[in-house]
Amino acid sequence: MRWHLLFLFLLVVPTGCAHRLRPSDLPPPAASHGHLALAMEAFLRDPASYEQRVARNPVLAGGISSGTSLEAPVLELEAGQAPGVFNEAVQTLAGKPTEAQIVQALGDLHAACDADHEPACQFLKEQNLPPARIQGWVTHPKERSLSFRSEYAVVVLQCRIGLDGRVRDCQVIEDGSGHPSQHLIAQLGESRYRPWTLAGHAATTSYAFTFNLRHGGPADDELSLEQRLGWARLRVAHFPQSGGAWTNLAMQLAVHAPEDPDYPKVLAQAHALAPSFQWTATEMAWHRVQAGQYAAALMALRPVIRRSVMGDSPNPYVLETAAAAHFGLSQCAEALAEQQKAVGLLPAEWPAPERERFQRKLQDYQSACAAPKAVSAATGPR
């Protein structure tokens, strides 16, 4: 069996400055809110990547488990507390902190950022550096295959990267037939990584590796919609503790079957396993807004709302969802600020009905906040 590594970044369609978008590069007019939010993520990475990244992609949540996990204490700060907490964390990092103090400082910085203290967000953006491979390479398992059809698998490994840059203590979260995880673990063990650092201070961290594998079949072979949905359901059945499997199924349903009766339950399970993942948090919050659960919606968004704007291209659907939740709580200033930012961030190429809906919602909020009346925060896509 010969497995090929399929990394999602290889699915990007190369484009030049003069590339003109085709209708297939944008989501359809009747797309659900979750579909639109996912399509926007793809658009912000590459405007011409929607079809391969979203519409035909069998592994939509390929990167859900990839990242750094540190057991930093979760704090909730008022805006007035954030500057002091931020200054104390920076002072700690200016000295010679222990590993425990580094982790504590990370939690404090995140809490200050979540409380809208911009210097904390900027500090994290510049000084919070994830592990990076500096030596070694991971290749596919070299086994002979006579198959004329493509077979797919996702391997998710939860490992630790130490101060020495070695990958160790890997646990298998998802695996494929023939256990390709063992081959991948052996290769990771021979690799070296730059450890996670905060302001130049390294610490041991938990790190998840996700590998998308395929063997057999022609190079241009791809799964049908029925096969993609079937495989997504099979993954959660075989690996019920995999946040990536549940998030992939939720995304597939949001894109292809948003009216599926299983969707709310699948989304809830995906959010429970990956509450800090931007798409699941935003979609969970949007569903709570539709149900009038505005405070609960903001709770779901809290881990991602401030951090979402730390990137170079914030997703307008995150901000739109936050605006709707704030408006439902009669927090006019916050609702107007978030919706105004969302409107301003929408790409000019984005479908006109969506751009008009965002602008119309902003006008609704402005009118209601000037002269309070019954305006629903929940009006929008499914």
CATH class label, 33-57+275-382: mainly alpha
How far, in Å, CA of 381 to CA of 363, rounded?
18
Q: Which residue would you say has higher pLDDT here, 187 or 18?
A: 187
Query: Tokens in use for 52?
Result: 């391969």
Query: What is the three-class DSSP state of 299?
Result: helix
Of the candidate ranges 15-29, 192-206, 217-231, 262-276, the one whose mean pLDDT is the lowest: 15-29
Q: Delimit the domains of the chain by residue range.
A: 33-57+275-382, 61-222
Find out whether 69 and 56 touch, Cβ atoms under 8 Å.
Answer: no
Find out whether 223 and 234 touch, Cβ atoms under 8 Å.
Answer: no
Q: What pLDDT does 13 receive?
A: 32
Q: What percent of the chain has pLDDT over 90?
A: 68
Average pLDDT of span 57-66: 71
Decide yes or no: CATH 3.30.2420.10 for domain 61-222: yes
Query: Tokens in use for 95?
Result: 């000295």
Residue 316 neighbours by CB under 8 Å, 6+ apart: 40, 341, 342, 343, 345, 346, 358
Range list of β-strands (E), the chain? 3-5, 67-69, 128-129, 132-135, 151-161, 167-174, 192-194, 196-198, 201-203, 205-215
- Confidence at 372, pLDDT banded by 50, 70, 90: low
Q: Which residue would you say has higher pLDDT here, 125 or 268?
A: 268
Single pTM value for the model:
0.86
